Amino acid sequence: MIKRQQIKELLKSTAFDTEVTVMGWVRTFRNNQFIALNDGSCMGNIQVVVDFNNLPEELLKRITTGAAISATGKLVESLGKGQNVEIKATSVEILGDSDPEKFPLQPKKHSLEFLREIAHLRFRTNTFNAVFKVRHALAFAIHQFYNERGFVYMHTPVITASDAEGAGEMFKVTTLDFDNTPRTDDGKVDFSQDFFARATNLTVSGQLEGELAAMAFGQIYTFGPTFRAENSNTTRHLAEFWMIEPEVAFADLEDNMQLAEDMMKYVIKYALDNCKEELEFLNTRLAEEDKQKPQNERSEFGLLEKLDFCLANEFERLTYTEAIRILKSSKPNQKKQFKYLINEWGADLQSEHERYLVEKHFKKPVILTDYPADIKSFYMRQNEPDAEGRQTVAAMDILFPGIGEMIGGSQREERLDRLTKRMEDMNIPQDELWWYLDTRRFGSAPHAGFGLGFERLVLFVTGMTNIRDVIAFPRFPKNAEF
Query: What is the tens place of the pLDDT at every residue in 153-211?
Result: 999 999 998 876 665 689 999 999 999 999 999 999 999 999 999 999 999 999 999 99
Tell me: do 77 and 157 sit in the same domain.
no
User: For residues 287 and 306, what is the distance between their CA atoms, to the nearest angstrom?
Assistant: 12
How much is the pLDDT for 166? 60
Residue 283 one-letter amino acid: N
How much is the pLDDT for 1? 56
Does residue 402 register a pLDDT over 80?
yes
Average pLDDT over residues 243-268: 98
CATH number of the domain to which 62 belongs:
2.40.50.140
pLDDT in tens, 317-329: 999 999 999 999 9
Does residue 87 register a pLDDT over 60?
yes
Task: Give me the domain span that covers residue 459.
Answer: 124-169+204-469
Is residue 179 in some structural domain? no
**Strands, sheet with 200-202, edge to edge from the N-terminal-most edge strand:** 159-160, 200-202, 172-173
Tell me: do 238 and 381 sit in the same domain.
yes
Does residue 387 register a pLDDT over 90?
no
Tell me: do 84 and 144 sit in the same domain.
no
pTM of the model: 0.94
Give the start-end residues of each E strand in 133-281: 152-154, 159-160, 172-173, 200-202, 219-227, 240-249
Burial 424-448 (b: 16+ CB within 10 A, else e): eeeebeeeebeebbebbeeebebbb
CATH number of the domain to which 142 belongs:
3.30.930.10
User: For residues 182 and 190, what is the distance between their CA atoms, to the nearest angstrom?
Assistant: 5
Average pLDDT over residues 39-68: 95
CA dihedral 289, 295, 300, 305 (to 10 degrees): 40
Tell me: do 229 and 89 sit in the same domain.
no
